[in-house]
């Protein structure tokens, strides 16, 4: 029998690295969303989300994701930043060399929704004109029916600020559409030809699947090789 000359396609096993950051006011639930991302859902059952402390400075983790859209594996370096006004300038530094920004507001706080434009501007200053992906996240969707934030306002904001996508979630109830969010991020990366993360990847620390005890391991500025603790106080949900 004659051997076929057709060579089966090779799987792309290369890991593509992108950096992402959470921006938004204090108390909107950024840390709770991040916990949903890195912890298997079965380990979250029974966890208490209400008592998470507000981030003072930054928190850091990585999340590995295999896309059904591209068939490739992605390593997302994710920063969770402080939402307090006094830390805004400090938090903005972590937007450098970052390709994805998650802009978070809470349905319980119209002020957090009105602050989204300011947070996006803080991030844009650090991008230096490079292409990036922006995703708006409306957290505490269980309070949406009583919220002063309307669907029309959200759509208008998304269009006016040219935000790429919008998702609703309820981190407290472990209802965060993680797969949909990151699949869409990957699609936008492809469409906008976003350049891959160019920093030192050797300092990436994976917390995926580590559970609550591992979540608040701390890292300093990427590439400095000096992990340092970030103090957390002030309770929030």
pLDDT by residue (tens digit) across 96-136? 788 999 999 999 999 999 999 999 998 898 887 889 999 99
> What are the residue boundaries of the structural domains of the chain, listed by start?
15-235
What are 12-67's pLDDT values in tens digits? Answer: 457 899 999 999 998 898 888 988 887 765 555 444 444 444 444 567 788 899 99
Helix or strand (DSSP H, E) at 85: none
Encoding tokens for residue 173?
């109830």
What would be the CATH architecture of the domain defined by 15-235? 3-Layer(aba) Sandwich (3.40)
Which of 206, 201, 237 lies closest to 222 in space, CA to CA? Answer: 201
pTM of the model as a whole? 0.73
175 DSSP β-pair partners:
170
User: How many angstroms separate the CA atoms of 162 and 50, rounded?
Assistant: 32
CB 78 within 8 A of CB 201: no
């Amino acid at each position: 029998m004659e051997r076929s000359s057709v060579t089966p396609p090779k799987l792309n096993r290369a890991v593509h690295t992108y950096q992402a950051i959470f921006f938004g006011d204090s108390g909107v639930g950024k840390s709770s969303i991040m916990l949903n991302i890195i912890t298997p859902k079965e380990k979250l059952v029974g966890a208490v989300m209400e008592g998470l402390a507000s981030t003072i400075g930054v928190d850091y983790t990585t999340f590995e994701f295999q896309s059904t859209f591209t068939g490739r594996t992605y390593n997302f370096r994710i920063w969770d930043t402080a939402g307090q006004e006094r830390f805004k300038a400090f938090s903005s530094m972590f937007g450098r060399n970052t390709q994805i920004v998650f802009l978070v507001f809470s349905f319980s706080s119209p002020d957090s929704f009105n602050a989204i434009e300011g947070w996006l501007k803080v991030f844009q200053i650090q991008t230096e004109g490079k292409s990036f992906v922006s995703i708006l996240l409306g957290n505490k969707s269980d309070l949406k029916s009583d919220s002063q934030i309307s669907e029309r306002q959200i759509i208008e904001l998304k269009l006016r600020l040219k935000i790429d996508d919008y998702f609703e979630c309820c981190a407290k109830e472990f209802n965060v559409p993680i797969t949909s969010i990151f699949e869409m991020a990957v699609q936008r990366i492809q469409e906008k030809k976003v350049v891959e993360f160019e920093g030192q990847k050797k300092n990436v620390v994976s917390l995926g699947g580590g559970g609550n005890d591992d979540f608040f391991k701390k890292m300093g500025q990427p590439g400095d090789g000096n992990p340092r603790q970030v103090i957390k106080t002030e309770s929030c949900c």
